[in-house]
Amino acid sequence: MPDATASILLLGATGQVGHALRRTLAPLGTVHAPGRAAVDLTDLKSVREAVRELGPALVVNAAAYTDVDGAEKEPGRAAQINAEAPRVLAEAARAVEAWLVHYSTDYVFGGGKRAPYTEADAPSPISVYGRTKRDGEKAIRAVGGRHVILRTSWMYSRRRSNFVRTMLGLARENDRLTVVDDQIGVPTWAGWCAEATASICERLLAEDDAALSGLYHLTGTGQTSWYGLARAVFAQFGRTDVTVDPVPSDEYDTAAPRPVYTVLDSSRAQAAFDLPPTTWTAQLDRFRKHVRTADGERVARG
């Protein structure tokens, strides 16, 4: 068992996964979750000092620049947060002999494949966001400390801006929506991702086995399109009155191109950390129950 008195530094605790991690990491030790005023990923000195002063056993970086279109307009800021800060975190974690757990994205892939991507597939990002996330991965691996990089995809939760919340919001004012049907991936509930991450972290703290270092994909099983996800969301929340029409991606003008296929194969993480495979539909069902339990369907019905 891990040391319950271990110090854990959690960055990005107000985000989708980070907020859930505050709960799931708590049994593993003392979670320190400084806000942006204390640790700003664009201020690399504050990043170094936070790790050095705390001397944690584990650093979990759930912070990122995630605005895919915004990154096209702010490539420098995206690179600072997604590439430079992870490098400094890796260096600082290595200096205090801490594990670093860092999140990356399916958008490091260009979408040219038509079978699930594995960790052995070479990244080929087609957007600034994807390139900066790939560069962050490369920087962490180059530092060479104990680290786990978790690529995940299509994140949603009750917090922040995400596709599921957007669909439910639009459905309050519209009974017919158009949604892209030619981009394929794996939706991931932030609550499930945080639970799986905590299981991984428990293993890292308990065994401290450097052989576990590396890159892993962390999503549910199965796949769908944004159109398929929208229909599943409305079915889960009882919004059978909403009609969803499929449209191709070129119907929408976006600043950043989107890969058409980014399904991740998570079997390596499942085997390495004894994680049971969970379908994306089962995660969505749990999310719906979580929402209704937490706030009486406020997210679904406003």
Catalytic residue numbers, as ranges: 129
Q: How far apart are CA 53 and CA 75, in angstroms?
A: 30
Kind of pairing between the strands at 30-32 and 188-189: unpaired
- 31: its two tokens: 């979670």
3-class DSSP state for residue 75?
helix
Q: How far apart are CA 15 and CA 64, in angstroms?
A: 9
Q: How far apart are CA 41 and CA 173, in angstroms?
A: 38
Rg (CA), the chain: 19
DSSP state of 165: H
> CA nearest 118: which of 215, 232, 249?
215
Q: How far apart are CA 129 and CA 65, in angstroms?
A: 8
> CA nearest 91: which of 132, 124, 125, 44?
44
